[in-house]
Amino acid sequence: MSSHDLLLTGGRVIDPSQDLDTIADVAFVGGKVVAVGPNLPRDGVADVRDVSGKLVTPGLIDLHTHVYWGGTSIGVDPTDYARRCGTTTMIDAGTAGAGNFAGFRAHVIEPCEARVLAYLNVSFAGIFAFSDTVMVGESEDVRMLHPRACLHVANLNKDLLVGIKVRVGARASGAMGYAPLDIAIEVAEEADLPVMCHLDWPPPSRRDVVTRLRAGDVLTHCFRPFPAAPARGDGRVREEILEARERGVLFDIGHGMGSFGFATAEAMLDAGFLPDAISSDVHSLSIKGPAYDQLVTLSKFLHLGMSVKDIIAATTSGPARAIRRPDLGTLKPGRIGDATVLEISDAPVSFTDSLGETRNGNKSFVLSGVVIGGKWWHDAA
């Protein structure tokens, strides 16, 4: 007997949440994963897909995206993005603030078949002026950093919100220093949510930011190039970065346009410091490079020598921990039936970082298919 809706057969199943890397079938029923194992019964299965030679992973999570398409100049379309790189869950990193979250929810998040969750920007307007032609930081004006407005909207949208976002640095907050971070933490403590913090150029200093972050808070752009890099020029990891990891702060790549350096990444990986999450920071500018998308970002780490299993962990179980959603990023039976099917190509490829430095390689992840809610949702072939 069998009444599975969908069966993926013969793939290399990599699920770090179960410490799994094995050839197996994966079965889905009623929107959920129901079994992972060899030679599952095929009789009566509505949709059998042979995925031998391919990787089957939990639905990929991109912890740092900007998908408020149409409502903000920074946003890209989440459905197009999920089809492009197999991200079944996209975490929007504070594109919207208290003043415009309702539109994000109604016009983008709810109509999207892929899952969109969000950090709420502590700035009322969210990231409202980010484009080729206009660039104004949303944390530059203290009048926009309204803790009660932010808390109110956070409490109204608890089902979708995973934390409070704040951007500090000369680019995003002008001369405000760490004040916007202190305000974000004030709201986050009251709402019992973590903070995701962006840091670009000082002020504030890396030390002033990193020492403020609490267990479970996320430092994004964590492998950024100088200034505010986590490693010194000679490759040694900064003390406050090591102390923060010890304390339980989580480290997210957030590649984006200006926030990823090969030299930094090589120093950190050489020191054995793996990111908790690898994310693209995709937005309307970075999608044209050097980040491009989540699969390109993950492929850079493949080139840098991180293991496939560690990379998949950093885009499934790692981000699931950061957003406190252990039901996502896993293929455990009974959990949500999202999966991503990938291939590893050995075609020559050239990767570029935020400083324009390149690395030539011959390994990259390529999308084959996407399962959402237990259904074959997109065929990349």
Kindly list the distances between the CA atom of residue 302 and the CA atoms of 19, 30, 306, 365, in Å, as whole numbers in the listed order: 19, 34, 5, 8
When the beta carbons of 93 and 244 are compared against Zn ion, the nearer one is 93
Is residue 239 classed as helix, strand or coil in its secondary structure? helix
Q: Please, what is the minimum distance in Å from the beta carbon of residue 93 to Zn ion? A: 5
Q: Which is nearer to Zn ion, 281 or 338 (CB)?
A: 281
Q: Residue 193 in contact with residue 322, Cβ under 8 Å?
A: no
Q: How far is the CB of 75 from Zn ion (least distance, A)?
A: 11
Question: Which of 61, 93, 108, 199: binder of Zn ion (CB under 5 A)?
Answer: 93
Task: Give 5 or 281: the residue with its C-beta nearer to Zn ion.
Answer: 281
* Least Cβ distance, residue 287 to Zn ion (angstroms): 12
Q: What are the tokens at 171?
A: 């680019």
- Give 252 or 281: the residue with its C-beta nearer to Zn ion: 281
Rank residues 217 and 281 by Cβ distance to Zn ion and give the closer one. Answer: 281
Binding residue for Zn ion, selected from 25, 281, 293, 338, defined by CB under 5 A: 281
**Strand runs labelled E in the chain:** 6-15, 20-29, 32-37, 47-50, 55-58, 60-65, 87-97, 115-121, 129-130, 135-136, 161-168, 195-199, 218-219, 250-251, 339-345, 349-352, 358-361, 364-372, 375-379
Do 39 and 25 form a contact (C-beta atoms < 8 A)?
A: yes
Q: Can residue 291 be called a binding residue for Zn ion (CB under 5 A)? A: no
Q: Please identify, using beta-carbon distances, which residue of 15 and 281 lies nearer to Zn ion.
A: 281
Q: How far is the CB of 95 from Zn ion (least distance, A)?
A: 8
Closest separation between CB of residue 284 and Zn ion, Å?
A: 11
Stretch of 4-12, 91-99, 141-149, 347-355 contacting Zn ion, by CB under 5 A: 91-99
Residue 223 Cα distances to 258, 279, 369, angstroms:
11, 11, 30
Stretch that binds Zn ion, among 1-9, 92-100, 136-144, 223-231 (CB under 5 A): 92-100
Show the binding pattern over residues 308-347: x = contacts Zn ion (CB under 5 A), - = does not: ----------------------------------------
Selection from 189, 109, 122, 116 nearest residue 153 by Cα? 122
Q: Which is nearer to Zn ion, 105 or 283 (CB)?
A: 283
Beta strand 364-372 with 339-345 is antiparallel
Angstrom distance (rounded) from CA 158 to CA 302: 35
Q: Tell me how far apart the alpha carbons of residues 78 and 72 are, in angstroms, rounded to a whole number.
A: 13
Output the smallest distance, CB 76 to Zn ion, in A: 11
Q: Where along the sequence are the contacts to Zn ion (CB under 5 A)?
A: 93, 281
